[in-house]
Structures are given as structure tokens and as C-alpha cells.
Amino acid sequence: MNFNPPTDPTIARALGTWYAAVGRALNILTSTGTTAQRPTKGLQVGHTYFDTTVGHAIWYDGSGWVDAAGVTV
């Protein structure tokens, strides 16, 4: 089963907001925003970021941002 991220920016933002709220509730390091707004300081391995530009979650692996497949984004 493939996941196709939403193409409607309003839906993508809502999904990002929801994803960030769930992460906070579960005490997971997470944030949301555009590619240009990605955090650059105070990052820990496993920090999750919902990138509204690419339309899906990415993770900080200690040296950069990767998607669920481990591809640098």
C-alpha cells in the first residue's frame, strides 16, 4: 500500500498540525513547517518534522533529514 501525500496545501497543513499535536501528546520530539523552516539547532537523533513542502514526515538521523525510506531529503 502506498501513501500519497495530500496535494491540497490546506489538507497538508492540517495533517502537519495534527501530526505535531499527536507527537507532543506522546512526548515525541516533533515539529512542522516548510522545508525552509526546518530546525537546525538543538536537534536530537529521531527528531520528527512534518515538512509541508514535501508533504510528509521526515526524521533527523544525526547528520541530516531522511524520509521513511532512509533517503536524504
Residue at 2 is within a domain: no
Amino acid at 22: V
Count Cβ neighbours within 10 Å for each residue of 8-37 and write b for 16 or more, e otherwise: eeeebbebbeebbeebeeeeebbbbbeeee
| Predicted local distance difference test score (pLDDT) of residue 45 | 86
Residue at 33 is within a domain: yes
Q: What is the pLDDT of residues 25-50, one digit of tens each?
A: 665 557 889 999 999 988 888 888 99
Residue with cell 516548510: 34
Residue at 32 is within a domain: yes
What's the mean pLDDT in 60-71?
Answer: 92
Amino acid at 15: L
Q: Taking the model in full, what pTM does it have? A: 0.61
Range of the domain at 57: 9-66
Residue at 39 is within a domain: yes
Q: Give whole-number Cα distances, 24 to 7, 33, 49, 63, in Å.
A: 25, 15, 12, 23
Report d(CA 8, CA 55) in Å as an integer: 10
Residue at 1 is within a domain: no
Number of domains in the chain: 1
